[in-house]
Chains A and B, each alone.
Chain A
Amino acid sequence: MRKKEWKVIVTFQSTTHAMALDKIFKEQGLSGRLIPVPRQITAGCGLAWCSPLDAKASVLDGINQHELHYEKIVELEI
């Protein structure tokens, strides 16, 4: 059975917002990737950014610094 881990999940209203964040975070080398939105979360866009929980500060910094659009930021064990 797959072991669950705590993650920080960012959801979006639009695929384009997800792509904007994906591009910036990839350029920054931030740990994480786009995943299908986990069923525990209701979100507009079917894509969510998923990073290990210990990267949460970097995720928040990146979002603020680049004024990235997002819908929700949640911590989730998946």
Chain B
Amino acid sequence: MIYFDNAATSLHKPASVAQAVYNAINTLGNSGRGAHGPALEAARTAYETREALAQLFGVEDCTRIAFTSNATESLNAAIKGLIKSGDHVITTQLEHNSVLRPLFELENKGVELTIVDSDSSGVISLSDVERSIQNHTRAIICTHGSNVTGNVLDIESIGQICQKHSLLFILDAAQTAGVFPIHVEKQKIDVLCFSGHKGLLGPQGTGGLYVKEGLSLTPLITGGSGIDTFNKNHPAVMPEALEGGTLNIHGIAGLLAGLKYIHRMGTDTIRRKEQDLAWEFYRGVRNIPGVEIYGDFSTPNRCGIVSLNIKDYDSAIVSDLLANEYMIHTRAGGHCAPLMHQALGTQGRGLVRFSFSHFNTMEEITYGIQAVREIAARFGGGK
């Protein structure tokens, strides 16, 4: 079995991740609920994980990092917790529904939205972004890397635009956390939303967000916090402000193991290996007759994603053939990014996304290229 769907979730994790989850299930109590040994060990695990995340993202105070179930929850917390009726928000055509749907929801409640168009390669112009700024613009909300094309946005420049115009910068790092360098101070990120189960190599059901000191979000969820029990209101202190209810400490323990692995390996090493694999695949498939590739390959700075179609076939047919005849697992369809597909002209048949992990091998890449070649030949080749 070959797994090329790492943009959806990483399947191959370090062995230490599963072991950490197993150990946690058997030993940890409820973090922040009690002073007995198992509860304290759970709280220590949560704290150590916040510290590891803070180190990875250049965060000085780890209490500014709250855990969520996934990047979607983080983005909902950030968007709905900060953007109010009358605000104007700028986003891009590259976005995932985890950004778009909360924004469309707010648009119905009086928030004004500008979606910056991309070209047919999925590239946006930063001058278009800056030109969209109005007097009542509150934030720029965008992805770091497209989950459809693998194109990476220049977040350093977007952070500078935000700082220049006193806007909030809310970043969706679902595709890049753990793989690309992210430094909230240097890149002037006010809210960083990430998933734990992709590049961070943790279990599904983990994620989180960093919120800059001084920013206060209206929480999505209120209730049990382990602190300030007799207060009618949910506590405002971070991270409890954004962590209503029991934490997924078993998942967080696995996430910590993933983070320790990443700190040992280094994101540069992980990224280079992923990019080497992706570029090898790209070079192998780009000239196959009948294959059309999407995205901007004029720069080496890309996520480990290569998306394609074969002739005019439905992406679902191709992905299903790859899975059933070659045991190669890819993702067909719309990838929860409808506007990106509109820009690429693939909203009808979707596209087949190959997304790689540094755990993949060159042998798997070679086999994947051969599979695409055979399917294209079977479909008659030619454009």
Contacts and interface: CB of A to CB of B under 8 A. Distances in A.
A15 B226 contact: yes
Nearest to B50: A16
- Of the four ranges (under 10, 10 to 19, 20 to 34, 35 or more), the interface on chain A belongs to 10 to 19
Contact of A19 (B33, B46, B228, B240): B46
B334 interface: no
Interface string B29-64: 001111100001001101100100000000000110
A18 interface: yes
B240 A46 contact: no
B227 A14 contact: yes
Of residues A19, A34, A36, A44, which shows the largest number of chain B Cβ atoms within 10 Å of its Cβ?
A19
Contacts of A30: none
B35 A46 contact: yes
Given A14-B237, A15-B31, A16-B239, A46 B46 contact: no
B42 to A, nearest CB: 10
B238 interface: yes
Contacts of A34: 35, 40
Given A19-B44, A44-B235, A13 B227 contact: yes
Of residues A15, A17, A20, A23, which shows the largest number of chain B Cβ atoms within 10 Å of its Cβ?
A15
B47 A20 contact: yes
Contact of A44 (B31, B33, B35, B227): B227
A46 B227 contact: yes
Interface of A: 13-20, 22-23, 34-36, 44-47, 69
B229 interface: yes
A22 B235 CA distance: 22
A44 B63 CA distance: 15
Given A18-B43, A19-B43, A19-B47, A46 B34 contact: yes
A22 B239 CA distance: 17
B234 to A, nearest CB: 12
Of residues A36, A45, A69, which shows the largest number of chain B Cβ atoms within 10 Å of its Cβ?
A45
Contacts of B228: 13, 44-45
Contacts of B31: 15
B216 to A, nearest CB: 14
B98 to A, nearest CB: 26
A26 B181 CA distance: 32
Given A14-B227, A36-B35, 16 more contacts: A13-B228, A14-B239, A15-B31, A15-B240, A16-B239, A18-B43, A19-B44, A22-B44, A23-B47, A35-B35, A36-B34, A44-B227, A46-B33, A46-B35, A47-B32, A69-B63
